[in-house]
Amino acid sequence: MKTIRIGTGAGFSGDRVEPAVDLAQHGDIDYLVFECLAERTIALAQQAKMRDPDAGFDPLLERRMRAVLPVCHEKSIRVISNMGAANPVAAARHTVAIARELGLTGLRVAAVLGDDVLDILSPDEFHITETAATLRDFKKQVVSANAYLGAGGIVDALAAGADVILTGRAADPAMFLAPQIFEFDWKMDDWTLLGRGTLVGHLLECGGQITGGYFADPGLKDVPDLARLGFPIAEVSADGNAVITKLEGSGGCVTAATCKEQLLYEVHDPKKYIQPDVVADFSGVRIEEIGPDRVAISGGDGSPRTGSLKVSIGYIDSCIGEGQISYAGPGAVARGQLALDILDQRLALAGIDYEEKRGELIGVNSIVTNADMAGVPPNEVRLRFVVRTDDLASAARIGEEVESLYLNGPAGGGGVTKTAREIVAIVSGLLPEHHVQTRFEMMEA
Amino acid sequence: MLLRDIAHSRTGDKGNISNVSVIAFDPKDWDVLVRQVTAERVRAHFGAMITGRVERYELPQISALNFVMHDALAGGVTRSLALDPHGKCLSSLILTLDIDMSAA
């Protein structure tokens, strides 16, 4: 049975660069997929594009492309990534320019388009899930609307001979599903195969999170050499079953346990992992260690797609002001608590309008807010005071109030930091898939 | 003993919903998980940290439970005021549940 080897080049926008180069050089892979687009990132990228029409793609695109394109070109490894963010065409142009500079003549780069649906959403028909109201009734400044595209546009670009494919918003697993559909000629209504291909994509999409990253717990779950963590490779068969592995000699480990944790990561009902191309079913997945750092994955399934695409709406939400200060030694918790009480009073006395606030002591109750779970008092605490405001000027006053604790607050406060920022937040909704036209633009170096 | 002694966990986030897996190190402890790590106990364990309902899904073939906790992330990662807006730390906290192996 034909098999292909797909490697993960990045599991998030800021991920390490070298593991992708190692995979390209030594992993005998056919595809290298970089997942670099978080939910909010595309809204921020859209704002960058509004300021500069040539901007709005991933800031690390240049570094990653320079690092992997020469070896990928030499070994005929095809690259797929959502580093196009809000501007896949500009990202593709930039990639072509890099390829020319590196002498990679003939490299074909495709930009997949169609995810930007800001102009086609109907204000009266599009409903926002979180508010259960229409887009028109959503009284916020919307800055972006992007549909999660399926694998189709990427498959078309592969069929047209693209060596590098850059998308905007695409469902993360779809970037891994696409080469499987293309190589194995899977039908777009073979739900079992699409479900299995989605499973492979889901397992690979977070990079090192399946090879021992985000897993170590010394004494209980030891992982070797995390500083040189190897990224995953899936050896996929035409029936959609796969073996997850990594480069020999790289750090980390691939075990049944690392695969199980990743299988359920960001999953709700395991029978219904809703994707643009299929509703994948992970409920019967089997995970079996078949060798050192080799785990066989089988039993994935699927049912027909819903016919709707999830749309992420980016909007200007609010401003957040924050200040922090530390207290140490005997009485640290009491002094921190006194400082929090003072800050609460200062909000009222200084007349700072706010929507929501949160005061806490890091080391005591910033994460563990349920008092029943409280532990022993620490020898040092860090006060964190964070407030949501309408405007940036009010947000900036929060840090100033925390800073004022130096001369006006409890004894021994030190190390003030302060920030104020505008928040672009995300809500979502569903769009019938026939409203979205996916296409690609091809360029050549 | 603590759940941490027999199981491991990872948290994921989608909007204002957190999911937390609980996976037995050894399949022989699966029955203990099913009987003792119930949605009700998990809901009570987190107390006010979660304001919505908790659902449990069972994956016996990999000895894993998946808890879906609603309204658990202070509005979700893009607007939350929380220090850990993703709720990543919830996985370590669920493992502090008490487990009674003699009752297994």
Which of A40, A367, A388 is facing B81, going by the closest CB pair? A388
Residue A356 CB coordination number (10 Å): 15
What are the chain B neighbours of A257 within 8 Å (beta carbons)? 8, 23, 25
End-to-end CA distance of chain B: 12
Enter the pTM of the model: 0.97
Measured CA angle at A107 (ends A102, A113), to 5 deg: 120
Q: Strands (DSSP E) along A114-191, which ranges?
A: 127-128, 133-134, 141-147, 164-166
Q: State the best of A172, A244, A264 to mutate against chain B, taking most chain B CBs within 10 Å.
A: A264
What are the chain A neighbours of B83 within 8 Å (beta carbons)? 360, 362, 366-367, 384
> A319 in contact with B at a CB cutoff of 8 Å?
no
Q: Provide the mean pLDDT of chain B.
A: 95
A117: closest CA of chain B, how far (Å): 20
* A163-182 average pLDDT score: 98
Percentage of chain B lying above the pLDDT 70 cut? 99
- Is A217 in Cβ contact with B10 (below 8 Å)? no
- Is B14 in Cβ contact with A270 (below 8 Å)? no
Domain ranges of chain A: 3-114+149-306, 313-428
Model pLDDT, residue A234: 98
What are the chain A neighbours of B9 within 8 Å (beta carbons)? 261
Asked casually if ipTM beats, i.e. exceeds, 0.95, the reply is: yes
What are the chain B neighbours of A142 within 8 Å (beta carbons)? none
**How does pLDDT run across A268-285, given as a tens digit for each residue?**
999 999 999 999 999 999
Q: State the best of A205, A268, A385, A398 to mutate against chain B, taking most chain B CBs within 10 Å.
A: A268
Q: Residue A39 — pLDDT band, cuts 50, 70, 90?
A: confident
- Is A260 in Cβ contact with B23 (below 8 Å)? yes
In whole angstroms, give the CA distance from residue A334 to residue A410: 9
Q: Residue A282's closest CA among A261, A301, A257, A296?
A: A301
Burial (CB count within 10 angstroms: exposed 0-12, middle 13-18, buried 19+), residue A319: buried
Model pLDDT, residue B104: 55
In whole angstroms, give the CA distance from residue A309 to residue B66: 25
Task: Give residues with Cβ within 8 angstroms of B95, minimum separation 6.
Answer: B2, B3, B4, B7, B8, B9, B22
**How does pLDDT run across A305-360, given as a tens digit for each residue?**
999 999 999 999 999 999 999 999 999 999 999 999 999 999 999 999 999 999 99
Q: Residue B103 — pLDDT band, cuts 50, 70, 90?
A: confident
Please, are residues A291 and A248 in contact by the beta-carbon 8 Å criterion? no
In whole angstroms, give the CA distance from residue A174 to residue A196: 12
Q: State the best of B10, B55, B90 to mutate against chain A, taking most chain A CBs within 10 Å.
A: B10
Domain ranges of chain B: 3-103
Q: Which B-chain residues 65-104 have CB contacts (< 8 A) with chain A?
A: 66, 68, 76-79, 81-84, 89, 93, 96
Q: Which helix (H) or strand (E) holds A386?
A: strand A380-389
- Is A264 in Cβ contact with B12 (below 8 Å)? yes
What are the chain B neighbours of A214 within 8 Å (beta carbons)? 10
Measured CA angle at A95 (ends A93, A98), to 5 deg: 115
What are the chain B neighbours of A372 within 8 Å (beta carbons)? 47
> A217 in contact with B at a CB cutoff of 8 Å?
yes
**How does pLDDT run across A286-297, given as a tens digit for each residue?**
999 999 999 999
B36-70 burial, b if ≥16 CB within 10 A, otherwise e?
Answer: bbebebbbebbeebbeeebbbbebeebbbbbbbbb
Q: Residue B92's closest CA among B26, B6, B3, B32?
A: B3
Q: Residue A375 — pLDDT band, cuts 50, 70, 90?
A: confident
Q: In what order do the strands lie in the sheet with A439-444?
A: A286-291, A294-298, A242-246, A232-237, A3-10, A31-34, A78-81, A164-166, A108-113, A439-444
Q: Strands (DSSP E) along A250-307, which ranges?
A: 273-274, 279-281, 286-291, 294-298, 301-303
Residue A223 has pLDDT above 70, yes or no: yes
**Parallel, antiparallel, or unpaired for β A308-328 and A301-303?**
unpaired
What are the chain A neighbours of B47 within 8 Å (beta carbons)? 370, 372-373
**Which string of DSSP letters, residue by residue, matches A318-382?**
EEEEEEEEEEESTTHHHHHHHHHHHHHHHHHHTT---SEEEEEEETTTSS---GGG--PPPSEEE
End-to-end CA distance of chain A: 35
Q: Which A-chain residues 131-190 have CB contacts (< 8 A) with chain B?
A: none
> A269 in contact with B at a CB cutoff of 8 Å?
yes
Does the domain at B3-103 match CATH 3.30.70? Answer given as: yes
Does the domain at A313-428 match CATH 3.30.70.100? Answer given as: yes
3-state secondary structure B30-89: HHHHHHHCCHHHHHHHHHHHCCCCEEEEEEHHHCEEEEEECCCCCCCCCCCCCCCCCCCC
- Determine if residue A105 is left, alpha or beta; phi over 0 gives left, psi from -120 to 50 gives alpha, anything else beta: beta
Residue A193 has pLDDT above 70, yes or no: yes
Residue A5's DSSP bridge partners are: A235
